[in-house]
A and B are shown apart, each in its own frame.
Chain A
Amino acid sequence: MSFQISLGKIRILLVSTLLSAFQLSATSLSIQPVIDVNYRPDPASDEGGFWYQVEKIERDVQLSPYRIKDQELNEYVQSVVCRLTPEYCANIRVYIIDNPNFNAAMFPNGMMHIWSGVFLRLENEAQLASILGHEIGHYLQTHQIQQFRELKDASAAALVIDIAVGSLTGIVGLGTLLSGSALAEFGRDQEREADIIGLEMMGHAGYDTHESGQVWGLLIAEREADLSKEERSIFWATHPTSEERLSNLNNQSTLFQEKWQKEYTREENEFRKQVAKIYHRAMSNHLSLQEYEQTESILERHKNINYDPALIEYFYGELYRLRGEPGDTQLSISAYETALQQQSCPKDAHKQLGYLYTKEKNKKLAKKHFGSYLENYPEAEDKAMIKYYMELLN
């Protein structure tokens, strides 16, 4: 145990030594940051007003019940930011927001939001770094104030604020945001700039830059699997994508790696360990979106990542049960049964099986599972309901 811990420390030491050896700083980027580390706008300016409002939002976010406060996970994400940009790391505050959609957002004052849905899609730390790096790119180039000014001229600045408020806790949800006719969209050039900065930061920090293209590939695949809604998420609305962009990223990545030959890593283990901590919560939330094709494609991918197979099967059970299409009862039963063969399966699977077997008029199995549920949770919030059903079955 102590051996592992000290290894971890050595690794961190090594990383920081590497960083200083490379003299890594924002100045090694091919695009120079617009702001320096101590930047603050003039309070009398439009930008000062914009920051003021964003700072107000940040105070709400700090208190939001929809913020994931797990200390280790937060420190982990912050450590990736610091690895990407040691220079600006102290300026950037990442808030993990409990929202199953895919979105990340950067604010002009250094507040960054990353929604829990992001973690459900990614496979390793390098991919997380590509998202963080891209958002840091927007920050370093002050894209948001530029966008604010453009929209101000188009009488739509209030909308930018609205979007800020909306992504604040995820509370004003997608529906509201998308009902606005003109969504804030970073320009093509701004997106390209952020892509380049993100990619270079990744590379200098030793992350495999090819993972950046992988992320876009994953997202495109997920969108294609989603038959119901072509352009659902705000992320797609604000981050226009194309095959072209994907190939740009891949080309940039190849060029970068040819120029700076070094060791590149993807860092899977720590990333997955951290995600595992919020996995149950985030997947449960995703199911409540009723976006079953999307959930299915995510679960399909999770099979190849070594998340707990019992949990994956359990969520397949949940998915089929909630979807309720013909044949889903059987699929659901079999998924829960498989999941329960392993210790780590959430024991409320017994309750769901109890109800499913009740539906199937299989009294014996229904009673058995209701019984197991109560054995596992003698103080369950719905124990009275379960007991009532067990009596009905007699």
Chain B
Amino acid sequence: MVFADLFFLYAFLPACLLAYFLCKKLKHKNLVLIIFSLIFYAWGEPLCVFLLVFSAWFNWSVGKYIGKHRKEKQSKTAVAVGVIVDIALLIIFKYTGFLVENFNFFFHTQIPVPQIGLPIGISFFTFQAISYVIDCYWETVEPQKSFRKFLLYLSLFPQLIAGPIVRYSVVEEQISKRKSTAADISEGSMRMIIGLAKKVIIANNLYAIVTQFFGNDISSLSVLGTWYTVVAYSLYVYFDFSGYSDMAIGLGRIFGFRFDENFNYPFICKTISEFWQRWHISLSSFFRDYLFYAPVFGRPRKYFNLFLVWFCTGMWHGAEWNFIFWGLYFGIFIFIETKIGKKRMKKWPKVLTHIYSKLIIIIGFGIFYFTDLGQLGQFFLNISGISMLTNGSALADAVTWSSLVNNVFLLAFAILVSMPVLPKIKHFFFEWGNNKVYLTGKMLATALCMFLLIMSSILLVDSTNNPFLYFRF
């Protein structure tokens, strides 16, 4: 199940909220959340729900074992076993096909490629589990004694299938002690609705542009058409993913959980390093804390670890070469930036750093999009204008122009909202203004959210759109 779905919004969620808020004791509330989370997961993965429960049980056991053997050799073995098993599960379920295909390709073998379906959200919950066992070993968290509570942490449906990667340390206390205040419920609901609108109103309609131009063979696409589409795609990924994170954070908030922010207006960055401090923060901080600064292969070697981190970041996004290229591509620019030095880059004109970083990011999303390497090559020909020589492509074309004119407000709005405009408005109403201004702001926000909820729901009706030319009753 996904959040941007009418059945989730008007069947699953109300049932869950009703059951949750009817319970008085936190113990029962937690039980409600576990049951609904498992139903939520089983809805999309009827079989792999057992994998989720196993992963929870296994990592909980490892944590408990580490807790028992603090400062002893066994704890080191236990954390190693825990991490290795977690990564092994991830590799088996996510990368087997990719590894076998490439083995066949490089060694000219004919090993049959196994068809293993990727369990939804495995990349997210496995990373949460890894962070937990390592934190237990580092003694930054107390191992959880109750399996039920640990299962709640790992399976909690708001963040289960698309992040953010919530660290155990963040919710450790909230699992056993939390309250949903009126502010939590109201602000959480609004956050959730804003996330829904980002996904349904902005992202889905941007994606229509992307499929119109990148959906078919792109060799006849014009140069400006390619630029136009890759910009739309960059915005799409941001609104889709950050919208999902907003929904997760908002839903968590309704239940009294406070997750860390996952996006912080990434497109206002001036360098690539800054971009990654603002984009999918829970993932980049995971790699920073557990891979970059961690002595995984003996003592940390700065540049080796840097490229290892970016290889893994790319790989994490999917079992395709383009994702690995995408990660390493960012690794190269971050390497260059560290060589130049932060201080020196700060002295550069702002316009220049903005243009530089946006160019790299937007072209990066092109690499992210094209899993077909042939098409990726064509993308580079198009975007560089070389296709005008090799394919005789046009610089611009009327279809692009027609699409741009038809979506100009959507794009302008998307660009505006991808910049920190909302925090400025929030600051005016909720911090700068007096009580009357505060109340007015709150009522305006409520009205806006209701409009967004209704409009998103109406647009979701169209998600099963499947017209026929001829009568099919």
Q: Are A and B bound to each other?
A: no
